[in-house]
């Protein structure tokens, strides 16, 4: 059987879980994820796990936080005074917001805490600091 190798376009079903078993994403209720091995479009640890697999094969791989979305960086957590927010913004904990950076780009943040006078925003990737376990199934090598 043909094994997937760098440069191949593949379709993969996956389920991503945290260490406590919480599923953070899955392709099982939709089309499989399609990508080119070695293209850099997905986490390198997932790409590396698919290399050598054959169509129909399944495996589980755990990617340490340092090789996934990195450690949670406390310096990426911001506390702002609420009067700096637009008047029409009514933030809620868990809400995703976009902030404009000084270089003109945007930064996605998550509201993590609110008080009457302050808002706490986290600019870390939501999966930063977590080891990630993926159940992978190579559906097809295209």
pLDDT along the chain (142 residues), means of 10: 96 98 97 97 95 98 96 96 90 93 92 96 96 98 97
By DSSP bridging, strand 77-81 and strand 118-122 are antiparallel
> Given this model, what pLDDT does residue 68 score?
95
**Strand segments (E) across the chain:** 9-17, 23-26, 33-36, 58-63, 77-81, 96-100, 106-114, 118-122, 132-141
Nearest-angstrom CA–CA distance, 24 and 127:
9
> Given this model, what pLDDT does residue 82 score?
92
Q: What domains appear along the chain, each with residue ranges and CATH number?
A: 9-69+128-141 (3.10.50.40), 74-122 (2.40.10.330)
8 Å CB contact between 121 and 77: yes
Nearest-angstrom CA–CA distance, 63 and 69:
10
pTM of the model: 0.84
């Amino acid at each position: 059987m043909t094994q997937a190798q760098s440069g191949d376009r593949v379709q993969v079903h996956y389920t991503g879980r945290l260490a406590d078993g919480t599923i953070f994403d899955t392709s099982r209720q939709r089309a499989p994820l399609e990508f080119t091995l070695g293209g850099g479009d997905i986490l390198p640890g997932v790409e590396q796990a698919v290399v050598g697999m054959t169509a129909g094969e399944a495996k589980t791989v755990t990617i340490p936080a340092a090789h996934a979305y990195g450690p949670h960086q406390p310096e990426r957590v911001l506390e702002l005074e609420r009067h700096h927010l637009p008047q029409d913004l009514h933030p809620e904990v868990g809400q995703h917001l976009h902030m404009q950076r000084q270089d003109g780009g945007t930064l996605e943040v998550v509201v993590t805490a609110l008080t009457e006078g302050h808002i706490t925003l986290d600019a870390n990737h939501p999966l930063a600091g977590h080891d990630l376990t993926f159940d992978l199934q190579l559906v097809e090598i295209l």
